[in-house]
Amino acid sequence: MSTGILLQLAQTLLAILLAPLLMGWVNQCRAWLQGRSAPPITQPYRTLKKLFHKDAVIAHNASPLFRFAPYMIFACMALAAGIVPTIANDLPFSPAADVIALVGIFALARVFLALAAMDIGTAFGSLGARREMLVSFLAEPALLMVFFTASFIAQSTELPVIVATLAHREFAIYPSITFAAVAFWMISVAENARIPVDNPGTHLELTMIHEAMILEYSARHLALIEWAVALKLFTYSALGIALFVPWGIAAQGDLAALPLALLAMVAKLLLGGAALAFLETISAKLRLFRAPEFLGTAFLLAVLGMLIHFLLEV
């Protein structure tokens, strides 16, 4: 039991610490692919450090919610990152890792972010919050559909069970999972404010979604939010890995498999990050009005996956 708790803590800490590195890796890949000289892979850490050392400036009319929100968002993301099985399955917190609960945790963070953005009352903040809500309003049902498809196969909505079913059973091709994977990819792109739905690198008022919401933040608040963003990317990647390429995650109590699981996870994250960078490089950002269509397609794919599951796999 105590090893379980230790392992759980280690996994959570690992996620929190590794998340900025993943962000750095994606940025580096992107720079390479675009023919720019890349910033060092540790750049996100430096940014965070710099931000933590600054003095926070807060608008006069900010309510306590505005100060409180970054901590809340960070906590939500840290919790999510901790319960998704990354290296080991069936840890003490695992019963909490229900996919529906997970969607709820993401939603909680988002609500706080949107509230904080509207709190100051600037035009950009409300604009960003509204756009964010539009995107999430479409992404959430699609995400749930993806989870449902996976849980139909495993007969459970608990992530550890799903992972155990998919990873440790005889290998089989599930067409439905393939559909769900594509849909999940599209949703992750939208939820993490990446191209083609949003561009994390610009502050262009016509197009930005996520950046518009955090314009008023500075110093440690901004650092927490940036960190939470990195954690979110990490969590989604870990989720994707757990659902679609779960091989290598150590089974319950299998300590000997841990080093291998760690290696596998790092390799998968590296590959996934590179793929994300590649896809971002080759695609153009969509107009905001096209975003619903993009997410609609994701929803459609997820539903198709589910239908195909009933047709081909029952």
Comparing CB distances to another protein, the nearer of 13 and 311 is 311
* By the rule CB under 8 A, 307 interacts with another protein: yes
Q: Is 241 in the site for another protein (CB under 8 A)?
A: no
Does residue number 310 form part of the binding site for another protein (CB under 8 A)? yes
> Which of 123, 172, 256, 282 touches another protein by CB under 8 A?
172
Give the residue, chosen from 63, 161, 292, 298, that forms a contact with another protein under the rule CB under 8 A. 292
Least distance from C-beta 167 to another protein, angstroms?
15
> Measured between alpha carbons, how far is residue 23 from residues 29, 97, 107, 242 in Å?
10, 24, 22, 19
Q: How far is CA 234 from CA 17, 22, 299, in A?
A: 10, 7, 22
Give strand pairing partners of 158.
Answer: 98
- For residue 43 the two structure tokens come to 């750049």
Min CB(171)–another protein separation in Å: 8
Whole-angstrom distance, CA of residue 285 vs CA of residue 196: 4
Residue 284 lies near another protein (rule: CB under 8 A): no
Dihedral of CA 75/269/158/3: which sign? negative
Scan residues 53-72 and list those touching another protein (CB under 8 A): none
Q: Does residue 297 interact with another protein by CB under 8 A?
A: yes
HSE, CB side, 13 Å, CA atoms: give it for residue 195. 17
Closer residue to another protein (CB): 156 or 297 = 297
**Does 303 sit near another protein (CB under 8 A)?**
yes
Let me know the angle formed at the C-alpha of 70 by 119 and 118, rounded to the nearest 5 degrees: 15
99-119 and 64-83 helices cross at what angle (nearest 10)?
160
Chain residues 101-130 in contact with another protein, contact rule CB under 8 A = none
Nearer to another protein, 147 or 299 (CB): 299
Regarding 175 and contact with another protein (CB under 8 A), the answer is yes
Using the rule CB under 8 A, give the single segment among 40-48, 219-227, 236-244, 304-312 that binds another protein: 304-312
| The only residue of 1, 173, 256, 282 in contact with another protein, by rule CB under 8 A | 173
Q: For residues 126 and 121, what is the distance between their CA atoms, to the nearest angstrom? A: 7
Q: Which of 271, 180, 192, 181 is nearest to 234 (CA)?
A: 192
Helix 219-244 and helix 99-119, axial crossing angle in degrees, nearest 10: 160
The owner of tokens 């609500």 is 111
179 binds another protein (CB under 8 A): yes
Note the residues at the interface with another protein (CB under 8 A): 170, 172-173, 175-176, 178-179, 292-293, 296-297, 300-301, 303-304, 307-308, 310-313
